Amino acid sequence: MALRISSRSELPSFMVMDVLEKAERMTNLPQPLLRLEMGQPSSPPPKAALDAIINHVHDISAHGYTLSRGTIELTEAIARHYKRWYDLDVKPEQVLVTVGSSLGFMMAFLTCFEAGDKIAMASPGYSAYRNLMLSASLEPMLINIDPEYNSRLTVETLEKLDTIPDGLIIASPANPTGVVMTGDELAAISRWCEANGVRLISDEIYHGISFDKTDHCAMQYSSSALIMNSFSKYFAMTGHRVGWIIAPDDLVDPLERLAQNCFISANTLSQIAATAALDNPETYREMDSYVARYRVNRDLLIDRLPQELLGNFPYPEGGFYIYADTSALSNNSAELTDTFLNDLYIATTPGIDFDEAAGHLSLRFSFAGSTEDMAEAADRLNRWVQSRR
């Protein structure tokens, strides 16, 4: 007799990971595979992090558990980072180290909401939010921000909602649009959340990767918001799986209890590496040089990708993605992604991963890789489009 599988587990897959799997299984190709699917820097972690790993690899305590909220050293270093970057006073006790920010989202959902609660998010938006909500028996409320709405989630949009949600997730810089919120926009959204009893969850994982604007932390404007962040993007440490939450005082204990029971503690050696990275000024110079490369890559793709692949796309002000409007070429982004992967050896992510309603007309290019790869991708795509004109 087949036993039951919970309806909670019937969530959609995170499509970029499916593309990643297909890409990783492709071997003996006539041309190098260009990886523009993953939001993953192609450059190494900070040197200070690598040195710390080498120096601690034989240290037996680096292979044991840590406190569930993270090592004392790392939580203190994260608190200092907030003083340096935003001039904010964060108490180390408010910091909870998580297994990537990904698990942090699940912890936030389980801690802040009851089954059936409604959580608003932008669409297009990061699909794992929506998928995790479904598995936590929460109801995603998708707010359309396509280019017709200027691709921005604003307080004006929130004011027009028929139902006030229980929670709101925002991201700036946003994935997949690259839109960056101004301080005024973030302040207005934070005020609206506080006035309406809406728990704000601010995903700040792309902070540090804004090209012209300043990144603002929601803590500047809200005392009840959860701040989500990670060493994955700016610090180029995706595989280390170290993220963090800055929590309001009353959420610290519930989140810690969940961490204790859910994963005990994040990877110890990676926490040591992350602490060393944060405490070394050279790290910021190194990572800023990566950000300079992302900007060059963005400009190169916008300049050299064929017009049929850009259409009416949101201008990426931060992060490392172009959310291309491919409606001139196809109305099936999954098929287009397969064509690019199988025929051109370019991995990309279909828009339906980010927007169930209109994502069939879009494709996401990650420009976190090398500039040479971006140039080669633009050349291959130009040749392909020309052959079809």
Ligand X SMILES: Cc1ncc(COP(=O)(O)O)c(C=O)c1O
Q: Give the position of tokens 């180390």.
A: 92
Q: What is the DSSP letter of 210?
A: B
Q: Which stretch binds ligand X (CB under 6 A): 22-30, 97-105, 106-114, 138-146?
A: 97-105
CB of 268 to ligand X, least distance (A): 18
CA distance 377 to 372: 9
Q: How many CB atoms lie within 10 A of CB 161?
A: 14
The reply to whether 208 sits near ligand X by the rule CB under 6 A is no
Phi-psi group of 361: left, alpha or beta (phi > 0 → left; psi -120 to 50 → alpha; rest → beta) = alpha
Report the residue number, 297 or 329, with the smaller CB distance to ligand X: 297
CB of 29 to ligand X, least distance (A): 25
CA distance 81 to 74: 10
* Residue 324, amino acid: A
The reply to whether 203 sits near ligand X by the rule CB under 6 A is yes
**For the window 121-140, what string marks contact with ligand X as x by the rule CB under 6 A?**
-----x--------------
The reply to whether 350 sits near ligand X by the rule CB under 6 A is no
Number of residues that bind ligand X (CB under 6 A): 13
Phi-psi group of 98: left, alpha or beta (phi > 0 → left; psi -120 to 50 → alpha; rest → beta) = beta
| CA-based nearest residue to 128, from 181, 226, 214, 205 | 205
CA atoms within 13 A on the CB side of 154: 9
Interface with ligand X (CB under 6 A), residue from 121, 188, 198, 205: 205
Q: Answer yes or no: are the C-beta atoms of 354 and 326 closer than 8 Å.
A: no
CA distance 287 to 281: 10
The reply to whether 230 sits near ligand X by the rule CB under 6 A is yes
Interface with ligand X (CB under 6 A), residue from 140, 178, 243, 316: 243
Interface with ligand X (CB under 6 A), residue from 66, 94, 111, 175: 175
Which residues pair with residue 35 across a beta bridge? 347
Report the residue number, 104 or 165, with the smaller CB distance to ligand X: 104
The reply to whether 353 sits near ligand X by the rule CB under 6 A is no
Report the residue number, 177 or 384, with the smaller CB distance to ligand X: 177
Report the residue number, 126 or 365, with the smaller CB distance to ligand X: 126
The reply to whether 238 sits near ligand X by the rule CB under 6 A is yes
* Residues near ligand X (CB under 6 A): 39, 100-102, 126, 171, 175, 203, 205, 230, 232, 238, 243
